[in-house]
Structure 1
Amino acid sequence: MTDIRFGYTLMTEQAGPKDLVRFAVAAEERGFDFEVSSDHYFPWLSAQGHSPYAWSVLGAVAHATERVGLMTYVTCPTMRYHPAVVAQKAATLQLLADGRFTLGVGSGENLNEHVVGQGWPTVKTRQDMLAEAITIIRELHTGELVEHRGEYYDVPSARIWDLPEEGVDIAVAVGGEEAVQTLAPLADHLIATEPDKELIARWNSTEGAPQIEGGQARAVGQIPICWDTDEQRAVERAHEQFRWFAGGWAVNADLPTTMGFAGATQFVRPEDVAEAIPCGPDLDAVVEAVRPYWEAGFTDIALVQVGGQTQDDFLREAAEPLLDKLRAAAG
């Protein structure tokens, strides 16, 4: 069985850039194996209150840390960022991180991509755009001069001059069967936010996809938790800041504003959130919430501690004993 790696999420929607770097250093010191960063232009809900530029933060984190893997979770390289630009900054970040960086990509959310005024395509179009974008990034990471004329992107003449020798692995967020068939053969690793065993089986059975079980590919999942010494306080905070998840991906990908998320989740109750997110001081409850991921075949699982103002307490008081429990349970 592949060793399970546990990660910490740099949630850019709930903390400013200097705090995020500080949290990253502390998370490495507490023993997390890797760190993932969201890449948003807007927070999901205004109560979260932040959204700094993830790539600047990750550059600082790369220099402030020494051991942990780093990853975007996830960048959309199709609208707000042109894929040729993503290829350049991913290569630069890999150099700064001394080989610890993985480029995590996905088809994006309207919330962040609408800001450049290019509209919001259908799901099928977004997936096709992502496939072409990955192809461009791969080509540029060869170091050769690239001239690309595709369905969605033109790259008249581009070359990346500073490239890491080890390259940059690309992890792709997928869900449905069509997305797996289109994107898995282009990726090095899988990203998903649900502990879906069938998804991993579908990935492994797709022609050209790198194998997760018994292969080099990793399946990277993520789960929110809301640790606090006071359970009721944790429930209230999770409801205030994280009830956005309740709409599901089909809804969340299309909403354009924080006000839209507030309206879409206005009838979600605190007890609804508490049923979905482990809240309070019980670390064993967190372990049981995470367990379905490794049982489904995920190799890497990142935790999201809800609430920017709680990170210092979580990292100081709960992180190490929680990691001990998770590693013991995962075997």
Structure 2
Amino acid sequence: MPSFGYFLACEDFTPGQLLEQARRAADSGFTRLAISDHFHPWNDAQGHSPLVWSMVGALSQTVHLPVTTLVTCPTMRLHPALTAQAAATSSQLLDGGFALGVGTGEAPNEHILGDRWPPFEERAEMLEEAVEVIRALFTGRQVSHRGPHYTVENARLYTAPHGQLPIHVSGFGPKAAELAGRIGDGFVTMGPDEEAIGRLREAGGEGKPVIGGLKVCWDPDRDRAVDTAHRLWPTEHLPGELAQILPTPNHFEQASRLVTRDQIAESVTCGDDAEEHLHAVRAYVDAGFEEVYIGQIGPHQDAFFAAYHDKILPALGTS
């Protein structure tokens, strides 16, 4: 049976709201937390984007649940050596209950320092080298590294991770799934894509956990829930590589005009029908996910947590 966690969307809430959601998640029966890492929100309607490492530190002092980044990009905005230090400190604060989810990133977050935004193949190379650097530093030994993308000289993490710190690699296509199978301790993918999981297994990922999740909008008024999801998260339904290459929230708002309300109504679990929510979560269970994270879009957090405590999580066999 997989474990079920709550997804903290930094793009959609203030730091204080995220901490309160973490408390409510723990009280409601969720056993893990995941948190996004962005410099910008996807659009202005979301309106927030706190620093993930500050949030992880605050979470460690707020609740006693494991935390995973879903996901951070350790290649451009933050050098892999600094990512390693941040992750190791997080591991210590959470008594070993921290996992580092990493990916190749998106342009709106990673281009902000003026760096060129490379194509996927190059970003994948950068991620593979970054993971190599991070793993070397996690040993606590002194590291010097000179590669095609990164230089590290005489670096040592004196505050090394608490025990093993897993690195889960995110992927949304066959090449990324194969990369995760080769270099990751686990595979992060947001949809219940059995084909991608198969590619992961074929690329050396047999036995590695699959981690993912979904956003829902619990609201007694289903039409209002659809409107909320369409206003705040149309970007999750943009086609192709748009989510990786558009540079600013304004560009995402322009592209999101391609996403219709009917598409949201069909693809996002909206409303207060417990069976619909159960069906959406069970799709991940049936696909073989070990960790499933559910995030509530917009307001009605109290109703969401009450429903998942009373109806959804018990029906999934968690209590």
Same fold (TM over 0.5): yes
Decide which of 215, 227, 237 is 2:218's aligned counterpart.
227
- The answer as to whether partners of 2:218 and 2:303 remain within 8 angstroms in 1 is no
Decide which of 237, 242, 252 is 2:233's aligned counterpart.
242
**Correspondence for 2:315:** 325
Q: Residue type of the partner of 1:257?
A: T
**Correspondence for 1:29:** 27
> Whole-Å Cα distance in 1 between the matches of residues 221 and 176 of structure 2?
41
What pairs with 1:5-20 in structure 2 (closer than 5 Å)? 5-20=3-18
The sequence identity of aligned pairs, in percent, is 38
Decide which of 243, 254, 258 is 2:245's aligned counterpart.
254
Which digits, 9 at most, give the CA deviation of each residue in 1:205-236, with x for residues without a partner? 223x3x23xxxx21001111111111111111
Moved more, 138-147 or 242-251: 242-251
- SS of equivalent residue, structure 1 residue 166: coil
5+ residue gaps, structure 1: none
The alpha carbon displacement at 1:115 in A equals 0.9
- SS of equivalent residue, structure 1 residue 119: coil
Which digits, 9 at most, give the CA deviation of each residue in 1:146-189, with x for residues without a partner? 00000100112210001134131110002333323334222111
Moved more, 260-269 or 319-328: 319-328
The alpha carbon displacement at 1:312 in A equals 3.3
Q: Residue type of the partner of 1:289?
A: A
- The answer as to whether partners of 2:95 and 2:162 remain within 8 angstroms in 1 is no
- The answer as to whether partners of 2:180 and 2:186 remain within 8 angstroms in 1 is no
**Correspondence for 1:279:** 270
**1:202 aligned to 2:193?**
no
**Correspondence for 1:54:** 52
- SS of equivalent residue, structure 1 residue 327: coil
- SS of equivalent residue, structure 2 residue 187: strand
Aligned length: 319
The alpha carbon displacement at 1:319 in A equals 4.0
Q: Residue type of the partner of 1:314?
A: F
**Correspondence for 1:106:** 103
- The answer as to whether partners of 2:88 and 2:162 remain within 8 angstroms in 1 is no
> Whole-Å Cα distance in 2 between the matches of residues 176 and 241 of structure 1?
25
> Whole-Å Cα distance in 1 between the matches of residues 307 and 289 of structure 2?
27
Decide which of 93, 96, 101 is 1:96's aligned counterpart.
93
Provide closer, same or farther for how the CA distance between residues 19 and 123 of structure 1 changes in structure 2, counting only shifts above 3 A: same
**Correspondence for 2:301:** 311
Query: Which consecutive segments of 4 or more residues in structure 1 shift more than 6 A?
Result: none
- The answer as to whether partners of 1:226 and 1:280 remain within 8 angstroms in 2 is yes
Q: Residue type of the partner of 2:246?
A: L
Q: Residue type of the partner of 2:40?
A: F
What pairs with 1:127-138 in structure 2 (closer than 5 Å)? 127-138=124-135
**Correspondence for 1:288:** 279
Moved more, 287-296 or 135-144: 287-296
- SS of equivalent residue, structure 2 residue 285: helix
- SS of equivalent residue, structure 1 residue 301: strand
**1:189 aligned to 2:189?**
no
TM-score, normalised via structure 2 length: 0.96
> Whole-Å Cα distance in 1 between the matches of residues 120 and 35 of structure 2?
23
- SS of equivalent residue, structure 2 residue 216: strand
- The answer as to whether partners of 2:6 and 2:25 remain within 8 angstroms in 1 is yes
> Whole-Å Cα distance in 1 between the matches of residues 234 and 228 of structure 2?
10
Q: Residue type of the partner of 2:255?
A: A
> Whole-Å Cα distance in 2 between the matches of residues 287 and 298 of structure 1?
15
- SS of equivalent residue, structure 2 residue 233: helix
- The answer as to whether partners of 2:10 and 2:48 remain within 8 angstroms in 1 is yes
Provide closer, same or farther for how the CA distance between residues 99 and 259 of structure 1 changes in structure 2, counting only shifts above 3 A: same
- SS of equivalent residue, structure 1 residue 302: strand
The alpha carbon displacement at 1:249 in A equals 5.1
Moved more, 195-204 or 119-128: 195-204
What is the RMSD computed on CA atoms of the aligned residues?
1.6
- SS of equivalent residue, structure 2 residue 181: helix
